[in-house]
């Protein structure tokens, strides 16, 4: 994993974008990458990308499930018991607030870590292709989690995210 200087938000977003590129292109979802960072030590705790794990899995979901496995298979909803207190989540596309598949929305997964995840850095806000009026950003902010856009990679992120979509 490349060494990324503390506070290099574009560097971490590029790492998340590298994750997104590993996701298989499909017309029914975005290719998204996620990176969870311990900001106190500047350590990458886990990464994930859309469809990395079995099922209709999203990047944040894969990142957190892999992290739970690293901690001896602790249940994902108990991750807050074993993680350090200053975390940042980098995700190429804003976390979803609704899942049509029945899986827990990514915003709900992040909200479980409110108080530990201090900020979610996003490359682009979720386009309204699959979920109109994503309420994720508002819900995260209401829980005290800052949502910050990392600018400058939007075109590249959207190109990767929508690979496999029918262009109209």
Q: What is the 3-state secondary structure (H, E, C) of 22-55?
A: CCCCCCCCCCCEEEEEECCCCEEEEEEECCCCCC
Q: Where are the domains of the chain?
A: 9-157
Active site residue 52: no
Instruction: Give the CATH H-level superfamily of domain 9-157.
Output: Cytidine Deaminase, domain 2 (3.40.140.10)
pLDDT at 42: 96
One digit per residue, the tens of pLDDT, for the chain of length 168 reads 668 999 999 999 999 999 999 999 988 889 999 999 999 999 999 999 999 999 899 999 999 999 999 999 999 999 999 999 999 999 999 998 887 777 899 999 999 999 999 999 999 986 655 455 667 888 999 999 999 999 999 999 999 999 988 876
The catalytic position among 60, 76, 128, 151 is 60
DSSP string, 112-143: TTBTTEEEEEEEEPPPTTTSSS--HHHHHHHT
């Amino acid at each position: 994993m490349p060494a990324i200087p503390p506070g290099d938000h574009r560097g971490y977003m590029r790492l998340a974008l590298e994750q997104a590129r590993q996701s298989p292109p499909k017309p029914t979802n975005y290719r998204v990458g996620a990176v969870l960072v311990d900001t106190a030590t500047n350590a990458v705790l886990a990464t994930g990308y859309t469809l990395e794990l079995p099922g209709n899995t999203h990047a944040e979901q894969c990142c957190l499930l892999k992290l739970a496995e690293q901690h001896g298979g602790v249940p994902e909803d108990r991750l807050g018991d074993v993680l350090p207190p200053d975390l940042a989540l980098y995700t190429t596309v804003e976390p979803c607030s609704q899942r049509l598949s029945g899986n827990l929305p990514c915003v709900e997964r992040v909200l479980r870590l409110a108080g530990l995840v201090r900020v979610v850095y996003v490359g682009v806000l979720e386009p309204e292709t699959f979920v109109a009026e994503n309420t994720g950003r508002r819900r995260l902010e209401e829980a005290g989690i800052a949502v910050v856009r990392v600018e400058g990679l939007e075109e590249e992120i959207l190109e990767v995210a929508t690979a496999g979509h029918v262009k109209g």
